[in-house]
Amino acid sequence: MDVLFGAFAGLGAGAVFAILGVGLVVAYRGSGVINFAHGAVAAYTAFTWDELRNTTHGAYVKDDGGSIFLPWFDPIPEWGFLKALHINNLPVEIYIMNDPPVWLAALLSLAMAAFIGFLMHIMVFRPLRNAPLLAKVIGSVGVMLYLQSVANLNFGGANRADNGFWEFTSTNEPIRNFLGMDRNLAGSTLYLAVAALIIGTATWALYRFTRFGLATRAADENEKGATLLGYSPQLLAGLNWVISSVLAGAIGILFIHRAGPPTFILFVVPALAAALVGSLTSIMGALAGGFGIGMIASMGVNATSYDWWPEWLPSDGVRTFAPVLVMILVLYFRGDRLPIRGTVGVGRQPRAPFAKHPLVGLGIGIGIVVLMSNIFTANWESTLTTTLLSIMFMLSLTVLVGFLGQISLVQWSLAGFACWTLIRLSADGTKIRAMDFLAIDGPGWPDPLAALAAIIAAVILGVLISIPALRIRGVQLAVVTLAAVVAIEDLLLRNEPLMGAGAATTNPTPDPNWFGVEVGALDEKTFRTDYWKYTIFALIFVAIGGLIVANLRRGILGRRFLAIRSNERAAAAAGVDVARTKMIGFGVSSLLAGMAGILVAYKVPVITSEYFNPFVGLGFLAFVYLGGITTVWGAIFGGLLAAGGIISEFGSLHFEGITQAYINAVGAIGLVINAIVTNGEGVALMLTNRSKEMTGVMRGTSSSPNEVSGSIDANTQEVS
Amino acid sequence: MSVLLETKDLTVTFGGLNANNHVDLKVDSGSFVGLIGPNGAGKTTFIDAITGFVPTSAGSATFGGQDLSELKPHQRAQLGLVRTFQSLELFEDLSVRDNLLVAAYPTRWYTLLQDIFYVKQKKNDVEEKVDWALEVAGIAHQADILPTDLPHGQRKLVGVARALAAQPNLVLLDEPAAGLDTAESNSLGTHLRDLLKHDITVFLIDHDMGLVLSVCDYIYVMDFGKIIAEGTPSEIRTNPEVISAYLGEEAGEIQARSAEELRDMTIEGNE
Amino acid sequence: MTESSDLLRIENLDTGYAGVPVVRDLNLYVAKGEVVALLGPNGAGKSTTLLTISGLIPILSGSIFALGEEVDSRNPHLMARRGLAHVAEDRSLFFNLTVNENLKLGLRPDKTGMEAGLERALEMLPALRPLVNRRAGLLSGGEQQMLAVARALVSRPKLLLVDEMSLGLAPIIVEQLLPIVRDIADQTETGVLIVEQHVNLALNVADRGYVMNHGELVMEGSAEELLERQDLLEASYLGGELEGEG
């Protein structure tokens, strides 16, 4: 009975996953885009709602409430001279009224959601409609990061505790002794479930019975056919974006009494699983999938309270692993080994030229870093090593995403796994530093050995993850790996029985000694961070990583990687073992990610699993894409641009009032523009001025062979 | 001459329809065999089935005496059974030479280490094979540019060259002349004929009857998934079934019985 | 050439993909109530021509006037609203929708007598009537082709393009389908342009014909004229090696 109660308790969460899943299906059918920003739309709408209603201020009070904030920020800061020029700033806040009624607040919030949907279509996905998959994924990831940053700027970083409205409140009486199970069910649960069923069914009916719905289904299946019959696929796509966003906004408002707006952003993960249950095209399938995932996860969490449940499977992990499991099962059994005819070769991939003289570049790079290290103060030295660390990690994305074309979002978690494994293996049960709260049990391996083992562990996990990837490709891989990020954090990183006492809270990092040299970033004597020996250590790691990547690109495997990225069918026909080559790519990428994890462990004295949350990983992907996903130089530019990197630190130092949220928002915009304009070749290739060549090739083609030799058959003649 | 490729009763079914219907076909070593037929007859499906890109529902295919049914596409390619694609399917991000090198380098367990430490390869037989393939296809002077920068006809040749790069025993060419003009098509024909001198057996699918009739030793004709005729070019040229498959005369005659008298007369006169 | 009654007029058209012309210097017209056959071996550029008329492929140079206006490839969906229907080579059916839903999508909402259009299409293709609630993906090849034709007819087009109606179909089915095209032209003054690989059959229903090879027009004339020049027709299909045949 108790198990069954778990299922009922999951109806509330299931309702959110279901409606978000339905929204994802709507957007996908309308435009073929899997929208990673879908949860962020719900979050922004929920923030808008709470700001309008202002029922509880929570910890953060911006003003008296009653305003809406348009989904952008004022790019013109109020610096002295700009202020003096009387430049009109971009309007952001619009005051409506104090304490608006529920209907008005709901209407305005949903209008905001619709507006965001419209903007996403016009500004991002319409321009990207013929772009390669990676650009579309990056576009939607960019929107997600953008909305998160703008919500941060407009509504403050704090969470909101909103009591909700009508029956959808946290103060609702619980249903006591639910169905005689001797447990109390939260009062709003059944209302949420019914509301979701009604919304879901209404959406289904809209697509089932109206001409608009018919046309959408038709255009989804065969865009050419719909165009020939007089339907504009782009108009349909725009309408579907609006509907999708309104659905997300609606469930955001209904659920706000249970979860703060920022939480919604990651609800996109179970929602994606729900949408996959519906094969991304069935609304009823997504609805059922959402409820199913909510209920299964709740049952699993319920089960962890039993005595017989193994201690090493924490309840959070069970909750977040449920969607991953559902996704992998659905995709693995539906996926085909090779894409069918006609589905390959959409859009042009970013070019991946190779460095002719990587050693020269390496020498210059080392020289610059050593010079900087000598000039910089401790703070700047820290920025320098953050940059190196970012570059190290981004190299793993260069191999996997840039060369092999596999959009995996899980690599940063592998860095985390290496970091955690290293901490566990090198610990010996004593406190490392005087300031540490706790000591971690462990075998106490010497540092180089522990590091090596940690990297190998990351490679093994990475290759294991690649096995489903052999059958799951394209954007679906991105979906599954995003879910895996959340699951790895809860299941492996925050797993104290497995990873040691500090895994879920604060993990004290080792004080590394490699062959007699202290290579950690913290100087024990002076307590200054980023002791120069660490800088050199990190530099050596990055140099090794950079050489591996550059050499790989020049070698046999690099060519095979690009061949697979370009066309798996043709690669197989050319005798390339696609499965094996992909696994090698995942392995090499995981090796580089593991090395980045070692650098993280040696840099900070204590670390929490927050450091490896999905947004950090997505941020890295975003910035390496901005720098250039296909080259070593791109990773270097990406590292300089990324949060905490030299360029962004320089920005925040010299322009007062620029916060990290600004940098992220600007970065996200840059990302989207980069996806649209340079197709991911990024700053690096732009600087080498090759982009001009490319546009030249695309515009004017070399003369057609037909024009040269065009005489027609001598035996044929005109009759008329 | 020994039989290199042989299919017996090969059948491919798509949704209840036989795209290939009990196809019996033989390709001898060192011969130049053609497969022709109208659009939609199932010719590409046949190549897909032989190279492992679509599953066969009945029948068998052997290559050099080895049963192919359990082999994956890349394993078949490594055996020396390679193909080209109708829609090119080049690696557009790789230079022409690199396109060929992908196919030319054999897989070794130490390839990864060799790459990471950038063990510089000496001018080896692999590079020589690639040079040879570029030479045969007549695109040696364009080896270092991207395929997207080439005109359509030349890109076709890159596809052919890539198939040749591993020096296969048999190359299956899927409409290499589609989209080429007459002159290009003729010059392709001469290039292909040269392959026989290098011990490469050729199996050619094309719509361009002129090309097929002029270069092939032996021709199979397919319609509705079935082999409807086979023979030497001169036999095929005069075969009434072939002409009707291409010009639709059979259908025309049925039509003639039913409809307007006036137009019937113009058809009757034709052979 | 009665210019005023031309539903379609193509002048000096170059069109193709990625800037490379597949069709060069094409001139062609279709008048009201006329069936015109566009013939030629595969790869000649016939389908490319039709797709360009529908606005799905941008024009490289030259011009196409269809139904009184110049074709605008930026808004291809407007062509259908002007009265153009195109039965594509791949049929472009919606396999997950029923026959009835497929047909409904062909109806133009801005026209009166929507149901009449549906009824007329089913009258011309009565074989579809018992299948209206079946999913299009479950139909046989011939039934799918009938559906594609019917879907084009329900909008009561002024100009109809039909691409390779006989593709993959048994002759017996082709024999049923092609005359429908003739009937449409005769009954409703619709101009019809058909691309067909069954040459004789096509010329049998057509008023005039054009023959393309390697992207260029090599013959044109009335159906009777073209049928009389069977030798030339065969030449353009079998590679132009007439001498070889002795």
In A, which residues are within 8 Å of C94 by CB distance? Answer: 217-218, 221-222, 225
- Determine the Cα–Cα distance for residues C102 and A708; give it in Å rounded to an integer: 45
User: Which ipTM value was assigned to this complex?
Assistant: 0.91
B149: its two tokens: 């920068």
The size of the A-B interface in CB pairs under 8 A is: 132
**Closest residue of chain C to B86, computed from CA coordinates:** C43
Name chain B contacts of A573, Cβ cutoff 8 Å. Answer: 51, 53, 73-74, 77, 82-83, 85, 89
Would you call A142 exposed, middle or buried from its count of C-beta atoms within 10 A (0-12, 13-18, 19+)? buried
B141 exposure class (CB count in 10 Å sphere: 0-12, 13-18, 19+): exposed
Dihedral over Cα of A474, A475, A478, A484: its sign: negative
Q: b or e along A24-54 (b: 16 or more beta carbons within 10 Å of the residue's beta carbon)?
A: bbbbbbbbbbbbbbbbbbbbbbbbbbbbbbb
User: What pLDDT does C190 receive?
Assistant: 93
Cα–Cα distance, B94 to B162 (Å, whole number) = 12
Nearest to A618 by CA among A423, A397, A444, A442: A397
- For residues B152 and B139, the model is more confident at B139
Overall average pLDDT of the B100-113 stretch: 86
List chain A residues with CB under 8 Å of C88.
Answer: 224-225, 228
- Of A570-579, A698-707, B207-216, C12-21, minimum mean pLDDT range: A698-707
Cα A341 to Cα A344: distance, rounded to the nearest angstrom: 7
Query: Has domain A2-336 been given CATH number 1.10.3470?
Result: yes
- Dump pLDDT digits (tens) for A305-327: 888 888 888 888 888 888 888 88
Task: Tell me the mean pLDDT in the region A82-97.
Answer: 74
What's the fold here for domain C1-83+158-241?
Rossmann fold (3.40.50)
B73 falls within a domain: yes
Burial bucket for residue A526 (CB in 10 Å: 0-12, 13-18, 19+): exposed
What are the CA-CA distances from residue A600 to residues A439, A538, A597, B108 (Å)? 19, 10, 5, 35
Q: What is the pLDDT of residue C176?
A: 79
The amino acid at A273: A
CB-based contact, B151 to chain C, within 8 Å: yes
Name the domain count of chain B: 1
Model confidence at A339: pLDDT above 60: no
CATH code for the domain of B44: 3.40.50.300
List the domain boundaries for chain C: 1-83+158-241, 92-156
**Predicted local confidence at residue C245, as pLDDT:** 32
Task: Say if B256 falls within a structural domain.
Answer: no
- Tell me what percent of the residues of chain A surpass a pLDDT of 90: 45
Least confident of B45-49, B205-209, C232-236: C232-236
For chain C, the residue count is 246
For residue B249, being part of any structural domain is answered with no
Q: Which residues of C touch B209 (CB under 8 A)?
A: 41, 237-239
| Digitized pLDDT (tens) for each residue of chain C, 246 residues in all | 444 568 999 999 999 887 778 899 999 999 999 999 999 877 788 989 999 999 999 999 999 999 989 998 888 999 998 999 999 988 899 998 999 999 999 887 655 666 777 888 888 888 889 999 999 988 877 888 889 999 998 988 999 999 988 776 766 677 778 888 999 999 888 999 999 877 888 898 999 999 998 888 988 999 999 888 877 776 666 554 333 332
- Closest CA in chain A for residue C102: A218
Q: Which residues of C touch B255 (CB under 8 A)?
A: 175, 178-179, 201, 204
Contacts of A697 in chain C (CB under 8 A): none
Average pLDDT over residues B130-157: 86
CA A546 to each of CA A6, A358, A401, A504, A540: distance values in angstroms, whole numbers, following the listed order: 50, 8, 16, 33, 10
Mean pLDDT of the B97-125 span: 83
Amino acid at A210: T
Confidence (pTM):
0.86
Q: What is the Cα Rg of chain A in Å?
A: 27
- The mean pLDDT value for B86-112 works out to 87
**Predicted confidence (pLDDT) per residue in A21-61, tens digit:** 999 999 999 988 999 999 999 999 999 999 998 754 444 44
Q: Which pLDDT does position B269 carry in this prediction?
A: 35
Q: Is the pLDDT of residue A692 over 70?
A: no
N-to-C CA span, chain A:
87
Asked if the model's pLDDT at residue A396 lies above 90, the reply is yes
Cβ distance A716 to C236 less than 8 Å, yes or no, reads yes
Residue to substitute from A29, A713, A717, interface C, most C β-carbons within 10 A? A713
Q: Classify residue B90: in a domain, yes or no.
A: yes
- Whether residue A187 has pLDDT greater than 50: yes
Q: In the block, which residue shows the tokens 């029923």?
A: C98
Under a CB-based contact definition with an 8 Å cutoff, are residues A288 and A259 in contact? no
Nearest to A586 by CA among A460, A421, A412: A460
Q: What is the mean pLDDT of residues A340-357?
A: 61
Q: Tens digit of pLDDT for each residue in B1-31?
A: 689 999 999 999 886 778 898 999 999 999 9
**60-99 in C: which are within 8 Å (CB) of A?**
75-81, 85-86, 88, 90, 92-97
Output the average pLDDT for chain A. Answer: 84
CB contact under 8 A, B213 and C241: yes
Around Cβ B3, how many Cβ atoms within 10 Å? 14
B7 falls within a domain: yes
Sign of CA dihedral B237, B240, B244, B249: positive
Contacts of A706 in chain C (CB under 8 A): 21, 24, 214-215
For residue B6, give the H/E element and its range. strand B3-14
Pick the residue with more confidence: B208 or A716?
B208
Provide the percentage of residues in chain B whose pLDDT is more than 90. Answer: 41
- CA dist A177 → A183, A186, B86 (Å): 5, 11, 68
CA-to-CA separations, A208 to A18, A194, A212, A213, A243, in angstroms, rounded: 18, 20, 9, 6, 15
The answer on pLDDT for A3 being more than 80 is: no
Q: Is C219 helix (H, G, I), strand (E, B) or coil?
A: strand
Minimal CA–CA distance to A388: which of A579, A639, A648?
Answer: A639
Q: Closest Cα of chain B to A488: distance in Å?
A: 28
pLDDT value at residue A696: 41
pLDDT for residue A699: 39
pLDDT at residue A304, as a whole number: 85
CA dihedral over B98, B99, B104, B105, signed as positive or negative: positive
Provide the pLDDT for residue A2. Answer: 75
- A 10 A CB-CB count for B17 gives 14
Q: How confident is the model at residue A662 (pLDDT cuts 50, 70, 90)?
A: confident
Arithmetic mean of pLDDT, A383-412: 94
Torsion sign over Cα A451, A453, A455, A461: negative
**Which of A709-713, B65-69, B196-200 has the least mean pLDDT?**
A709-713
The reply to whether residue A344 touches residue B72, judged by beta carbons under 8 angstroms, is: no
Minimal Cα distance from A546: which residue of B? B116
Q: What is the CATH number of domain A358-642+681-717?
A: 1.10.3470
Residue of A nearest to B92 (CA): A566
Mean pLDDT of A505-521: 89
Bigger pLDDT: A174 vs A714: A174
Distance, CA of C158 to CA of C172 (rounded, Å): 28
Token pair, residue A147, equals: 């909305």
DSSP letter string, A442-498: -----HHHHHHHHHHHHHHHHHHHHHHHTT--THHHHHHHHHHHHHHIIIIIT-HHH
Quick one: what percent of chain B has pLDDT higher than 70? Answer: 85
| Tokens 């020289």, residue located | A367
Q: How confident is the model at residue A125 (pLDDT cuts 50, 70, 90)?
A: very high
Residue type, A413: S
With cut-offs at 50, 70 and 90, classify the pLDDT of residue A76.
low
Looking at A197-201, A405-409, A536-540, A641-645, which range is the least confident one? A641-645
pLDDT above 60: residue A700: no
Check: CB of residue A510 under 8 Å from CB of residue A601: yes
Asked if A112 and A68 touch (Cβ cutoff 8 Å), the reply is yes
- Rg of chain C over CA atoms, in angstroms? 18
Q: What is the pLDDT of residue C44?
A: 81
Query: What phi, psi does B30 have (nearest 5°)?
Result: 75, 15
pLDDT at B260: 36
Confidence band, pLDDT 50/70/90 cuts, at residue A347: low
Ranges of CATH 1.10.3470 domains, chain A: 2-336, 358-642+681-717
pLDDT value of residue C109: 67
**B243 versus A565: which is more confidently predicted?**
A565
Q: Quick one: pLDDT at residue C50?
A: 95
What Cα–Cα distance (Å) separates residue A158 from each residue in A62, A527, A708, B102, C180? 11, 32, 68, 53, 69
